[in-house]
Structure 1
Amino acid sequence: MNRIITISTAVAVAATGTYLYRIQSHISPVPIHRISSSPQIPDALKQSKAALAVNPNGHVTITDTRFTTLELPNRLSDEQILARFVKGFFGGYVFGPESGVLRAVGKDLMRFERLKDIPVSSYIWAQSALSRETVPPLHSVLFGVFRVADCHFQSPGDEKYPELSQGGSYSYIDVAFGSEKGPIAGVHRFSVTRDGRVKEDGGKNESVTIEFAHVGCNPKENKPLKPDFVQTLHLWYAMLLFREGVAEVMK
């Protein structure tokens, strides 16, 4: 019996070590020193349809944002960049254990009154079903917990964001998660912003800022999410997910 326990422990340790090595290998192209973080979120997210749907009573929230700027080929559309990010975020090694647990549960756990009359467009249960070219369809549900509640792909000159420089753009996808009957609900906003400036390389590349903003709340009670270490854990996990998402864009 002791021998079996010893072998099982050794296998578990080896598997964990391999898993952590793969994560590090995938996120290493996106070092932390190239990422900026903030405890604030964009006003556009605070006032978004998705944020209102998951927190209609205005309960106290926790917020955080992280972003980085890359030089990317200008042939990539905003949707392609976001699709690659989403695939890395939900389809990578970091999210792997969570997706496995959610697949095992196999249920749509989302419950939001303001979304109940909008039909789910599709269910995505496999990481391999995520495309590098198009984002998941509007109102699709990923792994039974995450719903694409809103998205916007901007063309240069779009009057919705006139403050952007000529040729610039701002596009996003809002992913609602949780349930108003559960202990936590919130929204992930993944966005890309282009500055529109032509590079000296003949215009083949341009600066693109990729951002992951998050707002969460206790949907049942108007009080901060507890215990405090949950937020610390979230910030650590969110950074890993962000780095793997960006790494997928850089491939």
Structure 2
Amino acid sequence: MLMNQILGVSPEPCKEELPRQLLQMSLPPKSTVFLRGNFMLLDQHVSRGTQSPMEESSYVDIAFGDDRKRFAGFHRFEIMREGKPESSSGATIWYSCIACNPSVDRYPFPGWTFTLHKFYAIHLFRDGIAEILKDEM
């Protein structure tokens, strides 16, 4: 991925993680790549609850694609807890995504593919949240 040079991510060789190698209670380091280099963890922040919930959230930024080809973009998964970290008062969860064709100024695929991708991503996200909630019950 050439994106690491543009975004200021370490140009050093990136560590590739397989899904079974990921830890359940911590995030991999920045510049970790997944799925044969098609995804890269660009940034992450885990709120430690030292500031008010309105001032700070936890997030993970993941890049995908290749800026030398026809398809690249970013996903952001973000969570903001409501109330104090030790309470179980709820949370707001966001999923954001942007995709483009970095080689020319046009969409990389027909419009229906973005609709399909959004549907697929939302359902994967929903399944992940359901698994988390199932473990906490």
* TM-score w.r.t. length of structure 1: 0.47
User: Identity percentage over the alignment?
Assistant: 30
Structure 1 stretches of 4+ moved >4 Å: none
Contact 2:53 2:81 in 1 (8 A): no
The separation in 2 between residues aligned to 1:194 and 1:118, in whole angstroms, is 34
1:169 is displaced (CA, Å) by: 3.8
Structure 1 partner of 2:61: 174
1:149 is displaced (CA, Å) by: 0.6
The separation in 2 between residues aligned to 1:244 and 1:111, in whole angstroms, is 31
Contact 1:150 1:174 in 2 (8 A): yes
User: What is the count of residue pairs matched by the alignment?
Assistant: 131
Contact 2:81 2:90 in 1 (8 A): yes
Q: Which runs of 5+ in 2 are unaligned?
A: none
Instruction: State how 1:83-232 maps to structure 2 within 5 Å.
Output: 110-112=1-3, 113-114=5-6, 115=8, 117-124=10-17, 126-143=18-35, 144-158=37-51, 164=54, 169-196=56-83, 204-232=87-115
Quote the RMSD (CA, aligned, Å).
2.4
Q: For residues 71-129 of structure 1, give each alpha carbon's deviation from its aligned partner in whole angstroms, at most 9, with x where no partner exists.
A: xxxxxxxxxxxxxxxxxxxxxxxxxxxxxxxxxxxxxxx222325753244211x3211
1:196 is displaced (CA, Å) by: 1.7
**Partner SS, residue 206 of structure 1:** coil
Give the counterpart letter for 2:68 in structure 1.
K
Give the counterpart letter for 2:74 in structure 1.
V
Q: Which runs of 5+ in 1 are unaligned?
A: 1-109
Q: Pick closer, same or farther for the CA change 1:181–1:121 going to 2, 3 Å.
A: closer
Alignment pair present for 1:246 and 2:126: no
